[in-house]
Structures are given as C-alpha cells and as structure tokens.
C-alpha cells in the first residue's frame, strides 16, 4: 500500500436517524470521518445498451484505497469530488494495513 498515492480527501458517511419536533424519524447521512484516499476509476459504462444516448443510466465504478478502519461496512457511503458512491465491496489489504473499497456512483444523485 503506497500512502503517497492517497491524494484525495473523501468523506466517509453513515446513515443517521433523528426525530423532528413531533417525534417523527428523519433519515439522513452524517459525516463519520474525512480521510485521505487513492481513487481509481474502474469503468464508466451505460447500464442499458438498448439506448446508448440514455446517460441517466451511466454508472461510475471506482476503487478507493484507504488506511484500515473498523467502521467501514456496506451501510456506509463515500462522498468524493461532489459525487456520492455506494459501497459494494470491501477487502482488507494485508493485516489491517488498509482497505480496498469498490463503490458505485450514479450521476442522478438519487442517494442524497
């Protein structure tokens, strides 16, 4: 793991639930940590090949390499460069040296 390649600041976020003044739950996201990461774009492809002009279905798949943390799981998400990435896979690098995270973003920002 090359720490020198971790040149992007990203936010690790977890879902939170708070109550409004009437006691009704409000779902949202809160920043857990701001960390350094190496971002590697894996693919940018249209999911639907039937209509290549339909760029709403364009998915961005990226790999993020970060230092090891024990609070990263599939319920977390990453905000990087103004885009929200949903975590799909997590692999440990070495023995708690780092994490390799595969995440998917959608330009429609449905996840905000």
| Least confident piece of the model among 10-24, 34-48, 78-92 | 34-48
pLDDT digits (tens, 9 = 90+) for 94-112: 999 999 999 998 665 444 4
- Contact criterion met (CB below 8 Å) for 5 and 65: yes
The whole-number average pLDDT for the span 35-60 is 68
Please report the pLDDT score of residue 103 as a whole number: 93
- The pair of structure tokens assigned to 15 is 């879902």
pTM of the predicted model over 0.85: no
Going along the chain from its start, the domains and CATH numbers come out as 3-106 (2.40.10.270)
């Amino acid at each position: 793991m090359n720490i020198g390649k971790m040149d992007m600041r990203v936010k690790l976020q977890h879902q939170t639930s708070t109550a409004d003044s009437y006691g009704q739950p409000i779902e949202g996201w809160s920043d857990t940590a701001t960390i350094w990461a190496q971002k590697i774009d894996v693919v940018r492809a249209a999911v639907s090949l039937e209509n290549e002009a339909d760029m709403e279905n364009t998915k961005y798949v990226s790999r993020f390499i970060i230092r090891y943390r024990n609070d990263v799981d599939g319920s977390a998400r990453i905000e990087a460069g103004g885009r929200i990435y949903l975590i799909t896979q997590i692999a440990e690098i070495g023995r708690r040296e780092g994490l390799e995270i595969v995440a998917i973003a959608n330009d429609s920002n449905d996840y905000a």
